[in-house]
Amino acid sequence: MRYLRFDRREDRQACLCNDKFALMSEVWDGFVSNSIACYKPGACITVDEQLFPTKARCRFTQYMANKPDKFGITFWLAADVETRYFLNGFPYLGKDDTRPAHQRLGDSVVMKLVEPYVGQGRNVTTDNFFTSLNLVKKLLQKNTSLVGTMNKARRELSPSVRVQSAERFATTILKHERATLTVYQGKPRKSVALLSTMHPTVSIRSDRKRKPETVTYYNVTKVGVDVLDQMALQYTIKGGTRRWPVAVFYNILDMAVINAHVLFKAAPRAPFREEPSSLSLQSNFEKNTCMSRPV
């Protein structure tokens, strides 16, 4: 552990000037490339953030009050909903000079994460940080749908969406081209808005809560990255370290183990063939020995 390094010392200063993540870029990019090449995801992909807890010193440590561990390194991740397989990801390093000034951070993150999987009719589930009307239109051009909660303070939403409905469990449906906006009053003073291009029409259940179809679908598909993060923390191999490259390496190992387990279960295997036990081998040897004796 003392001599564990992931870069060359003679090239370190030159790389750090251009990339804050240079000490782990090669290892991380190799892991992501292998994850993309080894698995074909299902129809549903979840995009969300992961706060990897660490006390190591680095220039891109984040503070997130809504997370159990307040401090850590933020990673943008994409995961398969069905198997929780890690599909793609990259760290958040602060301001990105390559991102266009007119493009939102959430739109840029989603388009970068799902780029290897667009054009095949898949669906992407996001939360209110990522979901926007511009993102929906960009994904539709690549034959990819989106379902996600939407911040009701966004400019593209109608002012009527911000009005709290008096009736509980009421649903309001709004349409814009191929996008469907569902406003569901789940609590007396709180409603949720979901934008979907997967549901041209929205059916409503007939039980007491009368949940619309978009809300039910979102609740099922939103947990891909969250469950992946919980599994990685539950069975982590992380140890104490003050070096952030080693902490990132621990995170790679945790997610690599989950991916390996998913691939092991999905890979076809030959039927189990029971090997003869040592007792049967011994009895056969004695039998053959007795038969070879002269009478």
* Residues 64, 181 within the same domain: no
Chain segment 185-239, per-residue pLDDT in tens: 888 888 899 999 999 889 998 888 899 999 999 999 999 999 999 999 888 888 8
Helix, strand, coil distribution of the chain in percent, nearest 5 = 35, 20, 40
Residue 124's pLDDT band, with cuts at 50, 70 and 90, is very high
Closest CA to 62 of 74, 52, 53, 54: 74
Please identify, among 193, 221, 249, the residue that sits at the C-terminal boundary of a domain.
221
Chain segment 153-193, per-residue pLDDT in tens: 888 888 878 776 668 888 888 888 889 999 998 888 888 99
Chain segment 238-275, per-residue pLDDT in tens: 888 888 999 999 999 999 999 999 999 988 876 655 55
Place of tokens 């990132």: 248
The residue range of the domain holding 114 is 1-126+223-263
* Residues 26, 84 within the same domain: yes
Backbone angles phi, psi at 23, to 5 degrees: -65, -20
Total-model pTM: 0.84
* Residues 70, 134 within the same domain: no
Residue 292 lies in a domain: no
Whether the pLDDT of residue 286 is over 80: the answer is no
pLDDT recorded at residue 121: 92
What is the number of structural domains in the chain?
2
Higher confidence at residue 212 or residue 281? 212
